[in-house]
């Protein structure tokens, strides 16, 4: 069962198409994230679900009911945007209770629910304060309490953490996930921050230029990017030109520019044919660096020259030169990092590679 269904929705602004035909099933109780770079249509999609924008084409159903013509206040949604937008002249309790005002909820019931909502966001004692007397993170929790007090069937969150500083963002994302799990509210979260999307979501919808590029659980979109765009957008990837030289049984062999031959399990590629030009994608953290002296053990190994070391504390990011090719590797530092000018042995497990069609961008 899915609580929200988008069927071929399109949004055009004049001659410009912000969202191309898009279909999506959002399962009940799930936390899904629309992820993509600025301008890819995330907010537009969310606003169509909310009823703040009419789709140019297509249907939206919530809980089986077509809602295209239903105004926002009849859709039973909780909405939190980037700027928390609390009413400055109302107390926190009045802000949180706002959504109950027009729902015929008694004073006692309202007070009870405000108390419960403030407890849920772990701010039980601020009901009498005004928004200006709270920190940014606290205000955002209050905005969340205000959104969920009406027991919405869907919670819509548009970059709710982006106004917060980095540390607070990380705390809040754990908090938000806890609240979502505790309440079980179906949640649609919008972000352009890949780490937020990967950490929080049951399902990630990667968007680019108004189109859905891939839908899948975080591990799936990260480990099995469907396109070069996703490989570049999520994580740090090495993307190398290669030619398929052999397809046999369960394996394929590639001739990788500057690297030589590598044989991979066939399931790391989508239907590649012999002689086809392809792209080989290897995540930076999947390039395992070893001292040059380490004996090869049958895994695909090559030599590279360390050109730059970006020291990050527990890990380091290395820029490596291999002939005309530059590679990036991110490795944990066990004792001391490799040094600039050192030649290292680079190992890759074939099952950590992804092969994409050569023509994709």
Residues that bind ligand ATP (CB under 6 A): 13, 16, 18, 36, 38-44, 192
Alpha helices in the chain (DSSP H): 42-50, 92-97, 107-120, 136-148, 166-183, 194-200, 218-223, 228-233
Between 233 and 318, CB nearer to ligand ATP: 233
Two structure tokens written together for 191? 């972000």
What distance, in Å, lies between the first and last C-alpha atoms of the chain?
Answer: 35
CB of 50 to Mg ion, least distance (A): 13
Residue closer to ligand ATP by CB (options 213, 276) is: 213
Q: What's the rounded Cα separation, in Å, for the pair 354 and 282?
A: 7
Select 56 or 183, whichever has its Cβ closest to ligand ATP: 56
Do 3 and 186 contact (CB within 8 A), yes or no?
yes
- Pick what 18 binds: ligand ATP, Mg ion, none; C-beta below 5 to 8 Å, kind-dependent: ligand ATP
Q: How far is the CB of 348 from ligand ATP (least distance, A)?
A: 34
Shortest spacing between CB 76 and ligand ATP, in angstroms: 23
Is residue 194 part of the contact set for Mg ion (CB under 5 A)?
Answer: no
State the minimum distance, in angstroms, from the CB of residue 164 to Mg ion.
16
For residue 249, with 0-12 CB atoms within 10 Å meaning exposed, 13-18 middle and 19 or more buried, which class applies? Answer: exposed
CA pair distance 263, 253, nearest whole angstrom: 4
- Tell me the closest approach of the beta carbon of residue 85 to Mg ion, in angstroms: 15
Residues that bind Mg ion (rule: CB under 5 A) add up to a total of 1
In the complex, minimum distance from the CB of residue 16 to ligand ATP, in angstroms, rounded to a whole number: 6
Residue 192 interacts with, from Mg ion, ligand ATP, none (CB under 5-8 Å by kind): ligand ATP
* Residue 332 exposure: Cα atoms within 13 Å on the Cβ side: 1
Alpha carbon 287 to chain centroid distance?
A: 23
Binding mask 8-47 for Mg ion (x = CB under 5 A): -----------------------------------x----
Task: Please say whether the beta carbons of 68 and 5 come within 8 A.
Answer: no
For ligand ATP, the closer CB: 129 or 211? 211
Binders of Mg ion in range 42-101 (CB under 5 A): 43
Q: What is the DSSP string of 13-65?
A: ETTEEEEEEEEEEEETT-EEEEE-STTSSHHHHHHHHHTSS--SEEEEEETTE
CB of 46 to Mg ion, least distance (A): 8
Q: Which is nearer to Mg ion, 210 or 304 (CB)?
A: 210
Residue 139 interacts with Mg ion (CB under 5 A): yes or no: no
For residue 217, the partner it binds in Mg ion, ligand ATP, none, with Cβ less than 5 to 8 A by kind, is: none
Choose between 24 and 114: whose C-beta lies nearer to Mg ion: 24
- For Mg ion, the binding residues (CB under 5 A) are 43
């Amino acid at each position: 069962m899915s609580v929200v269904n988008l069927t071929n929705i399109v949004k055009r602004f004049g001659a410009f198409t912000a969202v191309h035909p898009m279909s999506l099933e959002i399962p009940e109780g799930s936390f899904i994230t629309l992820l993509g770079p600025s301008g890819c249509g995330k907010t537009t999609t969310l606003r169509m679900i909310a009823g703040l924008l009419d789709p140019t084409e297509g249907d939206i159903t919530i809980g089986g009911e077509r809602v295209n013509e239903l105004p926002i206040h009849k859709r039973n949604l909780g909405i939190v945007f980037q700027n928390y937008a609390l009413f400055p002249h109302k107390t926190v309790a009045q802000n949180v209770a706002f959504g109950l005002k027009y729902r015929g909820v008694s004073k006692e019931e309202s007070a009870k629910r405000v108390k419960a909502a403030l407890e849920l966001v772990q701010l039980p004692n601020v009901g009498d304060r005004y928004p200006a007397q709270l920190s940014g993170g606290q205000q955002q929790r209050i905005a969340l309490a205000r959104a969920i007090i009406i027991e919405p069937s869907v919670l819509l969150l548009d970059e709710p953490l982006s106004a917060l500083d980095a540390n607070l963002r990380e705390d809040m994302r754990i908090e938000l996930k806890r609240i979502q799990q505790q309440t079980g509210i179906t949640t649609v979260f919008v972000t352009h921050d890949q780490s937020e999307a990967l950490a929080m979501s049951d399902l990630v919808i990667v968007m680019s230029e108004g189109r859905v590029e891939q839908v899948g659980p975080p591990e799936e979109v990260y480990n099995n990017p469907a396109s070069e765009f996703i490989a570049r957008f999520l994580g740090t990837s090495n993307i190398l030109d290669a030619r398929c030289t052999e397809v046999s049984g369960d394996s394929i062999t590639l001739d990788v520019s500057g690297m030589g031959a590598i044989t991979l399990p066939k399931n790391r590629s989508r239907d590649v044919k012999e002689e086809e030009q392809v792209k080989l994608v290897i995540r930076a953290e999947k390039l395992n660096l070893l001292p040059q002296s380490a004996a090869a053990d049958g895994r695909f190994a090559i030599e590279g020259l360390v050109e730059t070391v970006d020291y990050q504390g527990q890990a380091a990011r290395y820029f490596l030169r291999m002939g005309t090719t530059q590679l990036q590797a991110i490795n944990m530092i066990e004792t001391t990092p490799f040094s600039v000018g050192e030649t290292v042995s680079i190992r890759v497990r074939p099952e950590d590679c992804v092969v994409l069609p050569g023509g994709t961008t």
